[in-house]
Amino acid sequence: MKEECGIFGIYSSRGLGVAEEVYLGLSALQHRGQESCGIAVSNDGKFSFKREGGTVLDVFDEESLSELGNGQIAVGHVRYDPFGRGGRESAQPLVLKYAHGSLAVCNNGALTNRYELRAELERDAAIFQTDTDAELIAYIIARERIRSGSIETAMANAMDKLQGAYSVLIMSPHKLIAARDPLGIRPLSLGKIGGSWVVASETCAFDTIGAEFVRDIEPGEVIMLNHEGLHSIKAKKAAKSALCIFEYVYFSRPDSVLMGQSVHLARRLAGKILAQEHPIEADLVCGVPDSGIDAALGYAEESGIPYGIGLVKNEFIGRVFIQDTQQKRERLVSIKLNALSAAVKGKRIVLVDDSIVRGTTCTRIVGLLREAGAKEVHVRISSPPFVHPCFFGTDIKSKESLMANRLPHDGLCKALGADTLGYLSVAGIRSIAPQAQTGFCDACFTGEYPIEVPEEIPFDKYSHKIKVSGGKS
Amino acid sequence: MKEECGIFGIYSSRGLGVAEEVYLGLSALQHRGQESCGIAVSNDGKFSFKREGGTVLDVFDEESLSELGNGQIAVGHVRYDPFGRGGRESAQPLVLKYAHGSLAVCNNGALTNRYELRAELERDAAIFQTDTDAELIAYIIARERIRSGSIETAMANAMDKLQGAYSVLIMSPHKLIAARDPLGIRPLSLGKIGGSWVVASETCAFDTIGAEFVRDIEPGEVIMLNHEGLHSIKAKKAAKSALCIFEYVYFSRPDSVLMGQSVHLARRLAGKILAQEHPIEADLVCGVPDSGIDAALGYAEESGIPYGIGLVKNEFIGRVFIQDTQQKRERLVSIKLNALSAAVKGKRIVLVDDSIVRGTTCTRIVGLLREAGAKEVHVRISSPPFVHPCFFGTDIKSKESLMANRLPHDGLCKALGADTLGYLSVAGIRSIAPQAQTGFCDACFTGEYPIEVPEEIPFDKYSHKIKVSGGKS
Amino acid sequence: MKEECGIFGIYSSRGLGVAEEVYLGLSALQHRGQESCGIAVSNDGKFSFKREGGTVLDVFDEESLSELGNGQIAVGHVRYDPFGRGGRESAQPLVLKYAHGSLAVCNNGALTNRYELRAELERDAAIFQTDTDAELIAYIIARERIRSGSIETAMANAMDKLQGAYSVLIMSPHKLIAARDPLGIRPLSLGKIGGSWVVASETCAFDTIGAEFVRDIEPGEVIMLNHEGLHSIKAKKAAKSALCIFEYVYFSRPDSVLMGQSVHLARRLAGKILAQEHPIEADLVCGVPDSGIDAALGYAEESGIPYGIGLVKNEFIGRVFIQDTQQKRERLVSIKLNALSAAVKGKRIVLVDDSIVRGTTCTRIVGLLREAGAKEVHVRISSPPFVHPCFFGTDIKSKESLMANRLPHDGLCKALGADTLGYLSVAGIRSIAPQAQTGFCDACFTGEYPIEVPEEIPFDKYSHKIKVSGGKS
Amino acid sequence: MKEECGIFGIYSSRGLGVAEEVYLGLSALQHRGQESCGIAVSNDGKFSFKREGGTVLDVFDEESLSELGNGQIAVGHVRYDPFGRGGRESAQPLVLKYAHGSLAVCNNGALTNRYELRAELERDAAIFQTDTDAELIAYIIARERIRSGSIETAMANAMDKLQGAYSVLIMSPHKLIAARDPLGIRPLSLGKIGGSWVVASETCAFDTIGAEFVRDIEPGEVIMLNHEGLHSIKAKKAAKSALCIFEYVYFSRPDSVLMGQSVHLARRLAGKILAQEHPIEADLVCGVPDSGIDAALGYAEESGIPYGIGLVKNEFIGRVFIQDTQQKRERLVSIKLNALSAAVKGKRIVLVDDSIVRGTTCTRIVGLLREAGAKEVHVRISSPPFVHPCFFGTDIKSKESLMANRLPHDGLCKALGADTLGYLSVAGIRSIAPQAQTGFCDACFTGEYPIEVPEEIPFDKYSHKIKVSGGKS
């Protein structure tokens, strides 16, 4: 399972090294998307940019950062496209010119009314060069700007049209604008370093560059940063905010703090509740690296069963090539993970992970532990089963593709080869973030969407027509 | 001096290998632009494309051609941007979606009313992601299409708005459209191979893929190719056509035939008239490789002075690196060209080239010949001096940058180190293409523009604001 | 600190996919060297090979593995050169032809008499194209082979000449030979998969490809694998074997088992002994990822202080670029590691790592913990201080470069910014591998070398003369 | 047909930019080999080097030249391997260390006694890491050096052992040595620029860097350049020198002067004699670009038939990809060459080329001319038919592969589709270089080898065993 994007922006009063700060900030957000990335810089209103398929380290180096040059403002983006549309052609920031000069736009989220917006714009002869929501948002802003006195007002007004999840950064020649949808579905935080303001999807990016956290951008808030400082517009607040609960379970880095809640502590708490809900007698609690480690620690704390390392990850394996055979996927797991026989032999193991998607990986891991001599393997999952599609940018495509849906609980346990299987309850997941000053969206578990959603995820109307082969693959 | 673009399209009834035919066709048009290139394919209405900075051989290989897949229609583009805006970001075809589906647009030319068009579109909240005329044309077509029954009618109607030079290819899911501006400033020809129609900037591309020439697209004509065959719309014809005369002198390949006139024969004839206008007693006529060879042959034929090889080109030298010193440019000439001492020693040489731009290269070549022992060097140029800027896509920026303008004739001859110097007259250049069924634009020599032109070449209003660093170079 | 090499070989009776097995096996050994790598294959006696600077995933892909083709035997190598001699030019396997056909040679180790051997060979007009011990070993074998009846006997006889550490793989057209020096300083294990024999530096490589462990190659043993099976020559056994104790502390992967001892358990035991030797009152035991995690678990087990995660690693950061400033090294640590404020705030932390080399990294990590709110930081190191140079292939250059040597214990503790500092004792380190059926070399801690060593590490006599710029730049 | 190598060396008293001079010199020699290249530099005795598969422009750039650093001496090599052994692994200079320090060795030529030398060295336990003669020569020199007082004497003494063709450059820490075999089969010239000596395969490399030609290295001569200047040893002169006559016909650049004879004039003279030997009534003489242009000029001069351009080359086409079909080879010719219909239509054409190897290319070119409307095509070849293999480094593998051998004259003419066919006679070719102060080897035409040759070309004894897959991936 993969989240779609991370964004990072900086407004610097001194204007030195903004591209490098964005580069470092994006590298801290790399877990949010490895498909493509980009940085745009405004130097006294002149824009330069680079965007490309690949990770931040693949795409940027000393030379390309130096070509971006110095500037006062910069924005950047890392992307995973949940709908599989290719690398470079949908890389952001989207850089464009319109009636009032230049803009660079980055987005994290997914609009639920993209079809309607697109159709409306096309009726007015708009042309679209990408499949991104960023391009839709740019068009809406360009239209609003004509009737509004400033780009930040245009963004605030655009909120009446945009539905769904969006955390947006907009760079104009002399301003940096950040906005978050009224539900606050995706995170966005404000920080400060020296005399410069920074905005990032997660606070871990602030730690990486040495910035201090100031506050979260509020759901429905637009902030504008320029040489006079920070201006906030409370554009449009929903009755109840709805941060994606999966940001705590999986997407965000454990060292981030979202809306006041430490991600690490939320995961540990999930593990503790899981231990209360699904206790078992065992000798060792192990987490699946790296996604299950924090919850495993919590499970061990609560249960009193010792925490240990049962699986070792090969940290050098990225895109390993192996012959395409029936056993390929299974073999891939063995190449990336190895069971630690010396630790698990003859032991009853509690194996903790954050979720089950297709189930093949989990099945293979249970097998590895058994081959290494584990006597029992009890699988514990620190979130409830996915049973509803996500319309807000998470790659959970449909009910059919979710293994948890296809099998009854016993059948699933058997298919995994586990002795017992326990999921965190919905009540449990709703308790993992007690310090978060926000409501949650947990629709993927409950079907209770915070706003009306369309019947189908609006991702294939256009993309089936264009197969992009551009980009270095 | 460099021309801006070449375009190639194919409509195949059988639908095999269209990407490869475009690849080969573009490779034959590579002399028209080496900065970027691209190919888009429609396979039953699904588009795939790749575009990138670099030459056709740099960008495409077996793998990328195979990724483009099979299809029935394909269009491609090679680009030199006369205004220096970077590689990949303005590579074409422009691929887009609009109210009626997908389009791919390629253009060769330069609009004279781009500012007006852009401003008008921006007032309606259009956003621009490139600096290309192709994007402007795409917007105009998208607007016209809403009021027109077909994409070819939309293109024909768009001609009322577009001013200047444009040879355009448009691929819709099931049609290939080709159009040429009313003046016919840039060339565009129609050919056939097996059951497939092909369209190319120059006929040499037909020879390369084994297609036969059918006819030139007429100035102001729009043709549409689909499964029913060819349909022509005589959209808008100017009183007098005005093919860029420099297509014969420099841009086109000698083996192309434009509007009925062989480029090779036009150059030979230019050399003959030059010999009549500027005769001299000499022992050997040499051309500057490769631009001056044909005219040198003509000069030799007419004058009776033997034709010979006086300069040898290093064919392996492309982007050679040399230390950046004062002598750098001079040294570069010596690396690329060597005087053939055995042939020129003690001889009186007539040195023929097609034009003088900055003069440094010519000065160095005269020097090489003298160092190799030439007794006299008489420079003959097979076109008149440039004295007026080109608004139709040729890279002759301003009066100031033209050496021929800065110096009086005697001073220039002296600066080149030549014994005598002779340019073809305006009357002469007007006589070099007797078989061409078209009028000419020779405004760069005469200032007589075929249509009204703005005061300044419209190239820097936007581009000064965006410095694109994208693309791996 | 870095180890120098990993080796992997396969002899397959069926001869399918040997290159891919070596590729996967090397990827499991990648932690032993990321500077260069290579694979050589023998297909019915015909050799093909590729070697290059970079990691296994950088260098090999589907295409290059397929170019290596099928075969019955293959050997591979990953390399870190402790003496800084560059990438590709010293990549192995060394492939050569001599009087009896072709050979491919891979080595892990360091000869102590390389000067003497080289001088002797040069007196007989030998020429050297690399600085590797593999080339020296190849020469010695080629000489011995002339007097010996087989390549395996030649290898056995060569042991009389070679002094120091070497684990060697030799591929002849129809045999795979593996040999280990009489002290058994570097590990080497034998495994089996289907009908194929495999040899690897560590057993984790067997797990990765699904092979089963058979036994360790004995110190001083030569084994030969061919179509008749396995033949062993007990060439030359030292009175006492001396496996490098640092293989347990740092070099090997935790999931490997060397000479009967699990690496993971050795590290946990080191942590336990450390807790006995240097107890402290604290709230949380944290390991430095990933090198200190296992020992931290052991420390927590023994001390009863809870184990927790105090530092989060950015797993996407490889060769990040940052401006070269005074703070560069410090900043690099912050980019790669982040302190988990939610976990460490207000706590007394025991920070466990396996060793201190220069001390800058440790100092910065202590700083990160304090900035994140840690009340106390107690540094515990699971090995004794390095005080003697390693002559057997480990990158511990000299007494001077070792921070632990430059400062007295109290000064060091203060320099690190720690509240207390404790090292594992020499007696302690000698107790961490109770199940290992071997003696140890712990000379880096004690100065007690298992054989006579020269006054200086023999690494710079030649290399100062050749600076290789080849390889991937 | 392709020649195997070019070499370039420099000894600079000032020691600035030697790597760049070699880079430029090699780029002028690129026509002698595009498979691999390399440069080695000695800076106060320290060597740095880079070598790689590809052309000089592919392999070297500003960064790699700067990494090579400054120095006083440098040597470089471009290679085409006539025996097809792969790119990088046999790239030169060979850089090695031996009893007296470091050496870099480059060679152009082919030894006829390589088997005997190799066997003799292997009996003394030599190991070979390449298939190059350079490695054999290095071994012989290393052996001789032990008994000789200097490297230049060692080279001179080595001449007693080496048989066949070799032009060699040797760089020791403080000397540059150049040597040419006693027959002088391959060229080698001495030049001077400022205070620096330069040595190159051809004089065109001197022109490129602005050096002046001093003299040819004599057959059998060894010269040594060091801080005291030039020292010459007349090591071993054959009774009669034997420069490869094909250097004039094909290998060398027309602007080079070998042993006093201009290559361009030799080719023109070949064309003149050809016109005398095979006159025909015709309207136009065309050369096949670029190899037949000079001889075509000579044919036109002598015959009085006008010279013209009948074929246009696409200068951008390098390694174009086309689908592998039956018509592939034919199609490749059409992509690279186009007939100039306007020039050849209705004409009787004399088509001049320097040689016929397989005949497919020539057949296709005749076809192109006929399709373009040529009334008659008379093929004239400016050298006799190849009927004997070359043992001295030219890629003429065996009698069987030579089309000229497979068919009688009339059959060949018919197969080409030509109206008539004429070859230069043996007497003719012996007359084309009247100013050359040397004898010739014309054994490929006559079978009269200047020294005894083995029964088979010694190229496949070893290479069938090692298939190198290294090089550019």
CATH number for the domain that contains residue A191: 3.60.20.10
- Same domain? For A16 and A82 the reply is yes
* Residues contacting residue C215 through CB under 8 Å, at least 6 positions apart: C189, C190
Contact D255 B290 (CB under 8 A): no
Tokens of D461: 């004894």
C342 interaction partners in chain A (CB closer than 8 Å): 255, 257, 262, 264-265
pLDDT in tens, C219-270: 999 999 999 999 999 878 777 899 999 999 999 999 999 999 999 999 999 9
CB atoms within 10 A of CB D324: 8
Query: Cα separations (Å) of B109 from B80, B152, B181, B388?
Result: 11, 19, 9, 18
Asked if residue B465 lies in contact with residue A97, where contact means CB atoms within 8 angstroms, the answer is yes
Does B465 fall in a domain? no
For the beta sheet containing A196-200, the strands, ordered from the edge strand earlier in sequence to the opposite edge, are A212-216, A189-193, A196-200, A5-11, A73-79, A36-43, A46-53, B466-468
Q: Rounded to an integer, what distance in angstroms lies between the CA atom of residue A254 and that of residue A204? A: 9
pLDDT in the model for residue D470: 38
pLDDT-derived band at A120, boundaries 50, 70, 90: very high
CA angle A302–A305–A307, rounded 5-degree value:
95
pLDDT in the model for residue C472: 27
Q: What is the DSSP letter of D283?
A: S
Q: Of the given ranges (A8-12, B407-411, D468-472), which has the lowest mean pLDDT? A: D468-472
Contact C255 A340 (CB under 8 A): yes
Q: Which residue of B has its CA nearest to D266?
A: B342
D465 interaction partners in chain C (CB closer than 8 Å): 45-47, 97, 101-102, 173
CA angle B51–B57–B63, rounded 5-degree value:
70
Stated length of chain C: 473
Does C65 fall in a domain? yes
Does A449 fall in a domain? no
Residue C9's nearest CA partner among C103, C135, C142 is: C103
Tokens of D251: 């290998």
Maximum distance among all Cα pairs of chain B, rounded to whole angstroms: 72
Contact C320 A24 (CB under 8 A): yes
Asked if residue C402 lies in contact with residue C360, where contact means CB atoms within 8 angstroms, the answer is no
Question: Which of C241, C273, C308 delimits the end of a domain?
Answer: C241
The stretch A392-416 carries a mean pLDDT of: 75
Residue B196's nearest CA partner among B227, B223, B224 is: B227
Asked if residue C310 lies in contact with residue C370, where contact means CB atoms within 8 angstroms, the answer is no
Q: Rounded to an integer, what distance in angstroms lies between the CA atom of residue B200 and that of residue B219? A: 15
- Same domain? For C272 and C417 the reply is yes
- Same domain? For A170 and A306 the reply is no
Whether the per-residue pLDDT at B2 is higher than 60: the answer is no
pLDDT in tens, D72-91: 999 999 998 654 445 677 89
pLDDT in the model for residue A325: 67
pLDDT in the model for residue B311: 97
Does A452 fall in a domain? no
pLDDT in the model for residue C402: 62
pLDDT in the model for residue B189: 98
CATH number reported for the structural domain that contains residue A347 in this entry: 3.40.50.2020
Asked if residue D372 lies in contact with residue D351, where contact means CB atoms within 8 angstroms, the answer is no
Number of domains in chain C: 2
Residue A375's nearest CA partner among A348, A402, A395, A412 is: A348
pLDDT in the model for residue C368: 96
Residue C185's nearest CA partner among C459, C445, C441, C457 is: C441
pLDDT in the model for residue B399: 52
Contact C342 A265 (CB under 8 A): yes
ipTM (interface pTM): 0.91
pLDDT-derived band at D333, boundaries 50, 70, 90: confident
pLDDT-derived band at A104, boundaries 50, 70, 90: very high
CA angle A446–A448–A449, rounded 5-degree value:
125
- Same domain? For A181 and A291 the reply is no
pLDDT-derived band at C399, boundaries 50, 70, 90: low
Whether the per-residue pLDDT at C74 is higher than 60: the answer is yes
Whether the per-residue pLDDT at A122 is higher than 90: the answer is yes
- Same domain? For B236 and B287 the reply is no
Whether the per-residue pLDDT at B357 is higher than 90: the answer is no
- Within 13 Å and on the Cβ side, how many CA atoms surround A471? 23
pLDDT in the model for residue C237: 76
Chain C and chain D share a number of CB contacts under 8 A equal to: 130
Q: Rounded to an integer, what distance in angstroms lies between the CA atom of residue A268 and that of residue A249? A: 10
pLDDT in tens, B14-48: 777 899 999 999 999 999 998 899 999 999 999 99
pLDDT-derived band at A116, boundaries 50, 70, 90: very high
- Same domain? For B67 and B177 the reply is yes
Tokens of B472: 């791996």
pLDDT in the model for residue B101: 94
- Same domain? For A230 and A126 the reply is yes
Asked if residue B221 lies in contact with residue B235, where contact means CB atoms within 8 angstroms, the answer is yes
Percent pLDDT > 70 in chain D is 90
CB atoms within 10 A of CB A445: 21
pLDDT in the model for residue B235: 78
Does B460 fall in a domain? no
Contact B470 A127 (CB under 8 A): no
pLDDT in the model for residue C473: 24
pLDDT-derived band at D235, boundaries 50, 70, 90: confident
Best to test chain C binding among D39, D43, D118, D127 (most C CBs inside 10 Å): D127
Q: Which of A449-463, B181-195, B380-394 has the highest mean pLDDT?
A: B181-195
Asked if residue C270 lies in contact with residue C429, where contact means CB atoms within 8 angstroms, the answer is yes
pLDDT in the model for residue B457: 72
- Same domain? For D227 and D189 the reply is yes
pLDDT-derived band at A188, boundaries 50, 70, 90: very high
Q: Rounded to an integer, what distance in angstroms lies between the CA atom of residue D223 and that of residue D156? A: 9
Does A421 fall in a domain? yes
Whether the per-residue pLDDT at D465 is higher than 50: the answer is no
Does D416 fall in a domain? yes
Provide the residue range defining the domain that includes D321: 263-436
Q: Which residue of C has its CA nearest to D123?
A: C99
Percent pLDDT > 70 in chain A is 90
pLDDT in the model for residue D472: 28
Asked if residue D339 lies in contact with residue D369, where contact means CB atoms within 8 angstroms, the answer is yes
Tokens of C6: 């990993």
Cβ burial, residue D367 (10 Å; 0-12/13-18/19+): middle
Query: Which pTM does this prediction carry?
Result: 0.92
For residue C289, the SS3 value is: coil
Say which of C123, C139, C467 has its CB closest to residue D127.
Answer: C139
Percent pLDDT > 90 in chain B is 75
The stretch B131-148 carries a mean pLDDT of: 94
- Same domain? For A116 and A178 the reply is yes
For residue D33, the SS3 value is: coil
Residue B188's nearest CA partner among B216, B220, B229 is: B216
pLDDT-derived band at D463, boundaries 50, 70, 90: very low
pLDDT in the model for residue C461: 45
pLDDT in the model for residue A359: 82
Written in H, E and C, the secondary structure of chain B is: CCCCEEEEEEECCCCCCHHHHHHHHHHHCHHHCCCEEEEEEEECCEEEEEEEECCHHHHCCHHHHHHHCCCCEEEEEEECCCCCCCCHHHCCCEEEEECCEEEEEEEEEEECCHHHHHHHHHHCCCCECCCCHHHHHHHHHHHHHHHCCCHHHHHHHHCCCCCEEEEEEEEECCEEEEEECCCCCCCCEEEEECCEEEEECCCHHHHHHCCEEEEECCCCEEEEEECCEEEEEECCCCCCCCEECHHHHHHCCCCCEECCEEHHHHHHHHHHHHHHHCCCCCCEEEECCCCCHHHHHHHHHHHCCCECCCEEECCCCCCCCCCCCCCHHHHHHHHHEEECHHHHCCCEEEEEECCCCCCHHHHHHHHHHHHCCCCEEEEEECCCCCCCCCCCCCCCCCHHHCHHHHCCHHHHHHHHCCCEEEECCHHHHCCCCCCCCCCEECHHHHCCCCCCCCCCCCCCCCCCCEEECCCCC
Residue B316's nearest CA partner among D4, D312, D27, D87 is: D27
Tokens of C135: 């080339």
Q: Rounded to an integer, what distance in angstroms lies between the CA atom of residue B467 and that of residue A71? A: 12
Stated length of chain A: 473
pLDDT-derived band at B464, boundaries 50, 70, 90: very low
For residue A272, the SS3 value is: helix
- Same domain? For D309 and D161 the reply is no
The stretch A348-353 carries a mean pLDDT of: 98
Strands C376-381 and C189-193: unpaired
Strands B189-193 and B164-172: unpaired
B290 interaction partners in chain D (CB closer than 8 Å): 315
Residue B217's nearest CA partner among B170, B261, B168 is: B168
Contact A331 C56 (CB under 8 A): no
CB atoms within 10 A of CB D283: 16
The stretch B286-294 carries a mean pLDDT of: 94
Q: Of the given ranges (A259-273, A422-436, B439-453, C350-364), which has the lowest mean pLDDT? A: C350-364
Asked if residue D154 lies in contact with residue D144, where contact means CB atoms within 8 angstroms, the answer is yes
Best to test chain B binding among D34, D59, D315, D321 (most B CBs inside 10 Å): D321
Asked if residue B102 lies in contact with residue B143, where contact means CB atoms within 8 angstroms, the answer is no
Best to test chain D binding among C63, C97, C463 (most D CBs inside 10 Å): C97
Round the CA-based radius of gyration of chain C to a whole number and report it: 23
Q: Rounded to an integer, what distance in angstroms lies between the CA atom of residue D334 and that of residue D317? A: 11
pLDDT in tens, D143-184: 999 999 999 999 999 999 999 999 999 999 999 999 999 999
Q: What is the DSSP letter of C417?
A: T
C320 interaction partners in chain A (CB closer than 8 Å): 24, 27, 57
In A101-154, which ranges are E strands?
101-111
Q: Rounded to an integer, what distance in angstroms lies between the CA atom of residue B64 and that of residue B71? A: 14
Contact D314 B28 (CB under 8 A): yes
Residue B309's nearest CA partner among B289, B331, B332, B291 is: B289
Whether the per-residue pLDDT at A96 is higher than 80: the answer is yes
CA angle D470–D472–D473, rounded 5-degree value:
85
pLDDT-derived band at B402, boundaries 50, 70, 90: low
Does A399 fall in a domain? yes
A253 interaction partners in chain C (CB closer than 8 Å): 312, 338
Question: What distance in Å separates residue D473's CA from the closest CA in chain C?
Answer: 7
Please provide the average confidence, as pLDDT, over all residues in chain A. Answer: 90
pLDDT in the model for residue B467: 42
User: Which residues of D are identified as catalytic?
Assistant: 5
Please provide the average confidence, as pLDDT, over all residues in chain C. Answer: 90
The stretch C458-463 carries a mean pLDDT of: 50
- Same domain? For D231 and D285 the reply is no
- Same domain? For C236 and C290 the reply is no
Whether the per-residue pLDDT at B473 is higher than 60: the answer is no
A71 interaction partners in chain B (CB closer than 8 Å): none
Percent pLDDT > 90 in chain A is 74
